[in-house]
């Protein structure tokens, strides 16, 4: 059997750079050497591309830069691969499929997907439009509204709004959303740049923090309830996992609670009534198909137990694959291990 050449892209010019490195370590280690020849390509935070030539032990230790040579992914379809700098010349290296293990800006937002489309190389995950849509919390909410699925009340503001009329912005949020509320950059994941506001002072601080990461800001009414996540896998006829639950002691599930806190944990499967679990799973598939996602996504919800109401939170088209990430855990619980999951994702990309 001929091995498929898989280019795994990781790192990137994103606030989720470090999480991408951890996810890539998991995926590269899971790729079966009998089936695949792996090209690990590290993208620095300032946008330089390097082909990593070291062993898998160093991949696990994240020692990327010590064993690297410059490369670029060629948009020329006749190359169908990467150009590797050897001396003063570039050598063409064929690629069968790209696995863009990139979270957030320039990775999950349609940009890298567009480059793959130009190159003519199949790639894991959603296409350009779906990636861009799901990365934009505002546009995602518009799609979810058409499905009549519950979500938090929200307002959207641009950078100019904050610069020119901050007082009007704070009044709009106070009277139309109310406190407490969350302020979020529209295009980041892993809770980067998200803050809770409980009064005007903390609201202004939250707005100023969020605008560091994005030109568009979401103000969202605070939701209460259990935080639940579900994994979707497939193209036009997707499968859906069971439901997992996030439990944490922090005020909300921020970056530190997700990746650094020893008190945060995941419960797979979540202890839920069957009808609630099925409702969440069904809504996840509805959103996935409406957004025209491909390959994979993780859908996040709240369940307000007192009101018995399921409320959509967000969708991620390239969820984390770290040792504590929910997406691979949910499939593991269904009997699909990480190597089989990676195989399936590559198969879906080729499809």
- Which pLDDT score, from 0 to 100, does residue 62 have? 55
- Which pLDDT score, from 0 to 100, does residue 52 have? 83
- Which pLDDT score, from 0 to 100, does residue 284 have? 98
Given 3.30.1490.20, 3.40.50.620, 3.40.50.720, 3.90.226.10, which CATH number is that of 154-221?
A: 3.30.1490.20
Domain extents in the chain: 4-123, 134-150+224-350, 154-221
Placement of tokens 């390509």 in the chain: 41
pLDDT in tens, the chain (351 residues): 689 999 999 999 888 888 998 999 899 999 999 999 999 999 989 999 999 876 666 665 656 666 688 999 999 999 999 999 888 889 999 999 999 999 988 899 999 999 999 999 999 999 999 999 999 999 999 999 999 999 999 999 999 999 999 999 999 999 999 999 999 999 886 577 899 999 999 999 999 999 998 899 999 999 889 999 999 999 999 999 999 999 875 565 444 544 454 556 899 999 999 999 999 999 999 999 999 999 999 999 999 999 999 999 999 999 999 988 999 999 999 999 999 999 999 999 999
Q: Which residues of 44-81 are buried (b: 16+ CB within 10 A; e: fewer)?
A: eeeeebbbbeeeeeebeeeebeebbeebebbeeeebbb
* DSSP-assigned letter for residue 262: S
Q: Which residues of 267-300 are buried (b: 16+ CB within 10 A; e: fewer)?
A: ebebebeeebbebbbebbbbbbebbebbbbbbbb
The answer to whether the predicted template modeling score (pTM) of the entire model surpasses 0.85 is yes
* DSSP-assigned letter for residue 110: S
Q: Tell me if 20 sits within 8 A of 12, measured CB to CB.
A: yes
- Which pLDDT score, from 0 to 100, does residue 323 have? 86
Topology agreement, domain 134-150+224-350 and domain 154-221: no
- 3-state SS, 152-221, equals CCEEEEEHHHHHHCHHHHHHHHHHHHCCCEEEEECCCCCCCCCEEECCHHHHHHHHHHHCCCCCEEEEEE
Placement of tokens 């945060």 in the chain: 264
- 49 φ, ψ to 5°? -110, 135
Given 3.30.470.20, 3.20.20.100, 3.40.605.10, 3.30.70.660, which CATH number is that of 134-150+224-350?
A: 3.30.470.20
- Which pLDDT score, from 0 to 100, does residue 305 have? 93
Class of 4-123 in CATH: alpha beta
260's CB contacts (< 8 A; 6+ apart) are none
């Amino acid at each position: 059997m001929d091995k498929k050449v898989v280019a795994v892209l990781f790192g990137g010019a994103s606030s989720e750079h470090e999480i991408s490195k951890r996810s890539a370590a998991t995926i590269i280690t899971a790729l079966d050497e009998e089936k695949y020849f792996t090209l690990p390509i590290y993208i620095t935070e300032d946008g330089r591309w390097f082909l990593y030539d070291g062993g898998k032990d160093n991949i696990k230790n994240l020692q990327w830069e010590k064993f690297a040579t410059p490369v670029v992914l060629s948009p020329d379809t006749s190359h169908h691969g990467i150009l590797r700098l050897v001396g003063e010349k570039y050598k063409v290296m064929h690629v069968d499929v790209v696995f863009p293990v990139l979270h957030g800006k320039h990775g999950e937002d349609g940009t890298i997907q567009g480059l793959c489309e130009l190159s003519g190389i199949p790639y894991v995950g959603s296409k350009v439009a779906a990636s861009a849509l799901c990365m934009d919390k505002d546009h995602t909410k518009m799609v979810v509204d058409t499905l009549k699925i519950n979500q938090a009340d929200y307002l959207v503001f641009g950078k100019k709004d904050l610069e020119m009329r901050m007082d009007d912005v704070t009044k709009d949020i106070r009277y139309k959303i109310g406190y407490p509320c969350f302020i979020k950059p529209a295009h980041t994941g892993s809770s980067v740049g998200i803050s809770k506001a409980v009064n005007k002072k903390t609201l202004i601080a939250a707005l100023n923090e969020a605008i560091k990461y994005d030109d568009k800001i979401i103000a969202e009414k605070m939701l209460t309830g259990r935080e639940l996540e579900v994994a979707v896998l497939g193209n036009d006829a997707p499968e859906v996992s069971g439901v997992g639950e996030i439990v944490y002691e922090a005020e909300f599930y921020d970056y530190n609670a997700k990746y650094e806190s020893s008190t945060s944990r995941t419960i797979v499967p979540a202890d839920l009534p069957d009808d609630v679990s099925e409702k969440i799973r069904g809504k996840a598939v509805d959103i996935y198909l409406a957004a025209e996602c491909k390959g994979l996504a993780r859908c996040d919800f709240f369940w307000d137990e007192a009101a018995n109401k399921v409320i959509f939170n967000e969708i991620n088209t390239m969820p984390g694959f770290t040792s504590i990430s929910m997406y691979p855990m949910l499939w593991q619980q269904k009997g699909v291990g990480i190597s089989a999951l990676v195989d399936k994702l590559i198969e879906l990309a080729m499809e």
